[in-house]
Structure 1
């Protein structure tokens, strides 16, 4: 066996330095090194292990030796594997141990075939190697560096087409972006048109601003243009906020004619739109954004939290024009100083180097599998293929005890009475846990 303590090892294989020389079966020593690395946090939940043949080559041992070590780790619950994906450190979520499953938090699932932990370590190291840390970690006022704004424009291009980077503002997540836009566009006492069931964070931001939320009725395609026109005229509102793709919570998605009609209603009233496009990159073919139809009157907000990972607190905003972008940057600075510089740099690097698209593909694959699972177990639930959440238009019964769901009341705009619940499919660590939870929901209707 080769002593790996002083060897140059590839990313994700550093734990092999723990493989001790001495007595006893080699496969057992490999297992013990793996177990110690997990216990010490060197290997984190969800991280992908090197292929068995790679480990065998690095250690100079037989392939079957590593196979036995990995098999023992699987038996002991340290790792899990899937055909075609590889071997990963097992996620030991409390949901499995305590019987509690959270279906209320709308998270993207872990991407198939990729380790976010490994990608973050690799990209962070690269960013720090080519950037002066003192400069990187200083205060950064303004809309973001030109490279970051160009990365944002590239990320938005599938739905918006070519966007001038001067219109892009890098923000510390969608919530910060929405709050900053409200600071630019509204004054306390103004009316803003919102979907009858909408994102709770938006309702909170409107309340904090002292702005009145006016509910607009919805149908299977989302907000209804005729009702929108009536409310714009009746209230004098000059701003409306909408999620046109995989609407939160109902999953409603506007078709091309509906998108054009909504834009036309706003144009006729002289109103601007805020397009909260949290899920717009997740469909295989990105729908044409409202901002592509009316860039001069639309604030387009696209967070990476739903498409890639919630820990990457970065959102890109395409402002109506460069002057609006500068105003938004100033409002964002007043709210939260700046987006986290290291995260902004990582996001830009991922987009520039194609890593973001690879993660997106992995998220899509896992989300599609989970949505298919939900369709099989809970056919009453509504939601497009690959959607991160599904909608039930009825209350969930008591047999679903031990599940955390997002009920319709959380999303209801002022004056709206609604029943039902949103079930998020990405939060459970494993598909088996999700399936068990969905069966409990289905049982509540029988």
Structure 2
């Protein structure tokens, strides 16, 4: 069988997908039907289909056929539960039942401190006192060199990430990320017309040697790294690996975006990569994971060379983030209560990781919000996700985290969105039992 033949068939199918002849969700012809059309053999078509499965262009289901994949969407990864009886393992957020009362009080106190000055427009990206609070927050968890001039305020870390990608790159540029990465990064890149290439990683995070190889081969304009409790794997880079990544970035004179939104989960602060290469790096932190997504408080520490352009971009984009949110956040940071709430979330995460280890017999991370759970061999990811949802268990398929289109055979489980430990235990036991079950016994193919 000619290797060129099945690859050419795969290209023909891809062309039909791109033209709309085969729209998303479309069931492809059987191997024999397409083989007759293209004057080849069913085995050659089968190999072409497998190539497209590997590239995440199509999905094959035993007994059902092969279907065109829909584009990966954040809504496929982060799914709202249909009702309160569902067990939502898909959303990475703090355990809000623990933070609700302090946050409610902070918002009420913020309203009492409103003034004409705070309710009006301001220069830069927000008021100086709020930027100073952002400096205090980031410094607590390992960032040095921040000040009220080089620290900018955004509507959450995701907004900050989007601003940086649009500012530092052009359509058609390449961005290097961890081979398994947060789908929000890929969603921004896709919407902006940027290409994403994955860098291999090991138990210590992104591999410096492979990063150098990717830079040499693909010439990315920037590199994005999540150094602490990486999403989805939960890996935290030790200091030695952070030094090595900084060396590669500096040697190649490219930009680094360090998304350290989970830095508060480290038992002890770890020095940021940005500390080592302040002229080449942009550091992101914020309060969404530690306190609440509703606060929408993101903090950017940027090189002096980009302060003015990013201030102008923020002004053109949103003018400034809501001062009301930042009044509440500043009060919580200045009083120290924000750090107490963050530590409480870390302690909850530690306890829930232990619960998951006991029930799933899986070695997770000591204090992360999630586990990267390998599925038994008999399960295909989408089948498991579908059957889990039928049982009221909302989980995130590992395929949405793949930058290079590989199949990780994992799902990501958030341990924090379910508010009570009792319900968490019940949901984990249901997942365990489903994973152990025979596929044919739960899916009627």
| Count of residues in correspondence between the two structures | 347
Corresponding residue number in structure 1 for 2:289: 306
Q: Give the distance between the partners of 1:415 and 1:361, measured in 2 at CA.
A: 36
Change (3 A) 1:164 1:337: closer
Gaps of 5+ in 2: 1-79, 437-445
Corresponding residue number in structure 2 for 1:327: 309
Pair 1:280-2:246 in alignment: no
Aligned-residue offset at 1:393: 2.6
1:108 alignment partner, SS class: coil
Please point out which of 99, 105, 113 is paired with 1:130.
Answer: 113
User: Within 5 A, what are the aligned runs for 1:93-172?
Assistant: 99-110=85-96, 112=98, 115-117=99-101, 119-132=102-115, 134-158=116-140, 159-172=142-155
Aligned-residue offset at 1:97: 7.7
1:296 alignment partner, SS class: coil
Residues 395-434 of structure 1 deviation map (CA, whole Å, 9 limit, x = unaligned)? 5647743211111111111433322111001101211111
- TM-score normalised per structure 2: 0.73
Q: Give the distance between the partners of 2:113 and 2:414, measured in 1 at CA.
A: 39
Whether the 8 Å CA contact 1:152–1:168 is kept in 2: the answer is yes
- TM-score normalised per structure 1: 0.73
Residues 287-313 of structure 1 deviation map (CA, whole Å, 9 limit, x = unaligned)? 211112212211110121111111110
Change (3 A) 1:383 1:343: same
1:372 alignment partner, SS class: helix
Whether the 8 Å CA contact 1:111–1:365 is kept in 2: the answer is no
Please point out which of 181, 188, 194 is paired with 2:164.
Answer: 181
Whether the 8 Å CA contact 1:399–1:440 is kept in 2: the answer is no
Q: Give the distance between the partners of 1:171 and 1:212, measured in 2 at CA.
A: 24
Pair 1:432-2:418 in alignment: no
Whether the 8 Å CA contact 2:171–2:192 is kept in 1: the answer is yes
Please point out which of 358, 361, 366 is paired with 1:385.
Answer: 366
Change (3 A) 1:186 1:96: closer
CA RMSD of aligned residues (A): 2.1
Whether the 8 Å CA contact 1:110–1:366 is kept in 2: the answer is no
User: Within 5 A, what are the aligned runs for 1:83-94?
Assistant: none
Whether the 8 Å CA contact 1:200–1:411 is kept in 2: the answer is yes
Q: Give the distance between the partners of 2:131 and 2:359, measured in 1 at CA.
A: 43
Corresponding residue number in structure 2 for 1:80: none
Q: Give the distance between the partners of 2:131 and 2:84, measured in 1 at CA.
A: 44
Please point out which of 307, 319, 325 is paired with 1:337.
Answer: 319
Aligned-residue offset at 1:162: 4.7
Aligned-residue offset at 1:131: 3.2
Corresponding residue number in structure 1 for 2:331: 349
2:237 alignment partner, SS class: coil
Aligned-residue offset at 1:334: 2.8
Gaps of 5+ in 1: 1-93
Residues 93-120 of structure 1 deviation map (CA, whole Å, 9 limit, x = unaligned)? x9798642110011111375xx533x33
Change (3 A) 1:97 1:269: closer
Corresponding residue number in structure 1 for 2:175: 192
Whether the 8 Å CA contact 1:111–1:361 is kept in 2: the answer is no
Whether the 8 Å CA contact 1:143–1:325 is kept in 2: the answer is no
Please point out which of 394, 408, 412 is paired with 1:404.
Answer: 394
Residues 259-292 of structure 1 deviation map (CA, whole Å, 9 limit, x = unaligned)? 1111111111111100111101122212211112
